[in-house]
Amino acid sequence: MKKVFLTVAVMLLACAWVVAQNNSATTNQYGKDNYANINQTGKDNLATQKQDGDRNTHYIDQYGKRNTADQDVGVCCAEDNGGYINQVGDDNQAYQLQRWDNNYAAADQYGKENYISQTQVSPPEGPPGNNAYAYQDGNNNSITQDQRGGGGNYASATQIGNRNIGEQFQTGKDNSAVQYVYYGNDNEQYMTQTGRGNYADQSVYYGNGNYASGNQDGKRNQLYQHQWYGNGNAAYSSQYGDDNYVHQDQYYYSDNNYASAYQDGKENGIYQRQEGDDNSAYASQYGNNNYANQGQYGNNNYANSYQSGKDNSVNQYQAGNGNSANASQYGAGHSAVQNQIGNNNTANATQSN
């Protein structure tokens, strides 16, 4: 009877070892001087690495259950690429695809059911590659980073919270995009950059349900969209041309505000700031060296600025509730200044030459 008991005990231990080791790790390398490393602790994790080229280095670390990580490097002759995926939690997914040379991608996931996709396509034969960094701490977050073109692009996305969405698309050279959600839920951030030397910064601090969208097509454009301590705010910006600047702030316990900025030309500037609830601001500029500054403090205010030409400027300030300001300028060298303090005021200005 003792012999039978011992046999059963051994069988149970063997089964337990098999159950604890059902992670899957696959590595395929073609070329020379490549390095690949996979570390898995947990259950039902899946890791896949493929490197086709020379001097590529990639790491995958997984701690938890049912995480998926995939690194796909080169179809031929990919050189000097690097990648790192770190997953701590359950049911996370991370995918890295790199083509040609000198790209680097890093993905960190802490929590459950998060998703990261990083795609990098740089020119062949050794020019600067692209850099992408993604960090998630929470549940059900999603980050997509896609970099293609001349190389030298930089993308960074951080999400601390739940159910946030971030997308960054870069086509061109030497563009930079930064997205940041610090303790927020259900926020959405989208950025598209085409051209060279553009910079974009989108951030949410302690807010929920905010939306930011930016598009840059040209050279050396700058965009800042900040939504801090508020909920349900929306900011949109499109820039076409060179050396344009947009700064949109929705600050300090402000909810349900809307801001839109559009520029087509060179060296134009737009600054819009809203503090309060249910405010709307619109600014459109066509031409060169135009400037619009719109500030609203209170609730249910409306500001609109339209400029077509060159060397025009609009400054509109409203403090109170239910105010409306409109400025339209056509031609060159116009200036409009409209300030309203109080409630339910209306100001209109139109100039042309």
pLDDT at 21: 63
Across 53-65, average pLDDT: 97
Tokens linked to 129: 């590659």
Averaged pLDDT, 271-281: 98
pLDDT in the model for residue 12: 28
Average pLDDT over residues 56-84: 95
Residue 266 has pLDDT above 80, yes or no: yes
- pLDDT, one tens digit per residue, over 173-217 is 999 999 999 999 999 999 999 999 999 999 999 999 999 999 999
270-276 mean pLDDT: 97
Q: How many CB atoms lie within 10 A of CB 128?
A: 16
Report pLDDT for 353.
96
145-179 residue pLDDT tens: 999 988 899 999 999 999 999 999 999 999 999 99
User: 40: which 2 tokens?
Assistant: 């898995």
Name every residue whose Cβ is closer than 8 Å to that of residue 305 and which is 6 or more positions away in sequence.
282, 283, 284, 285, 292, 294, 314, 316, 326, 327, 328
Task: Show contacts of 309-313: CB within 8 Å, 24+ apart.
Answer: 309/334, 312/287
DSSP string of 7-76, one letter each residue = HHHHHHHHHHHHHHT--EEEEEEEEES-EEEEEEEEES-EEEEEEEEES-EEEEEEEEES-EEEEEEEEE
pLDDT in the model for residue 75:
84
Instruction: Report residue 342 CA to chain centroid gap.
Output: 38
Give the pLDDT score at 16: 27
Does residue 301 sit in helix, strand or coil? coil
pLDDT of residue 36: 97
Residue 211 tokens read as 């939306």
What pLDDT is stored for residue 125 in this prediction?
79
Backbone angles phi, psi at 6, to 5 degrees: -65, -40
Mean pLDDT (whole number) for 141-147: 98
| Mean pLDDT score, 319-341 | 98
Percentage of the chain surpassing pLDDT 70? 94
Q: Give pLDDT, residue 15.
A: 29
Say yes or no to pLDDT of 133 above 80: yes
- Beta carbons of 80 and 107 less than 8 angstroms apart: no
- Residue 261's closest CA among 242, 275, 240? 240
229 close to 204: Cβ distance less than 8 angstroms: no
Both tokens of 242, joined, read 């060179």
Contact (Cβ atoms closer than 8 angstroms) between residue 225 and residue 201: yes
* Strand, helix or coil for residue 128: coil
Cα within 13 Å of Cα(307), Cβ side: 30
Q: Which among 36, 68, 69 has a CA at the least distance from the CA of 52?
A: 36
Summarize pLDDT for 29-42 with one digit per residue, the tens.
Answer: 999 999 999 999 99
Amino acid of residue 146:
D
Q: What value does the mean pLDDT take over residues 105-131? A: 93
CA distance 225 to 257: 13
Work out the pLDDT band at 70, boundaries 50, 70, 90: very high
When the pLDDT of each residue in the chain is averaged and rounded to a whole number, the result is: 93
- Could you write out the DSSP letters of every residue in 75-127? EEEEES-EEEEEEEEES-EEEEEEESSS-EEEEEEEEES-EEEEEEE--SSS-
Which of 232, 191, 231, 233 lies closest to 214 in space, CA to CA? 191
User: Is 90 exceeded by the pLDDT of residue 2?
Assistant: no
Would you kindly state where each structural domain of the chain is located, as residue ranges? 2-352
Report phi then psi at 34, rounded to 5. Answer: -90, 155
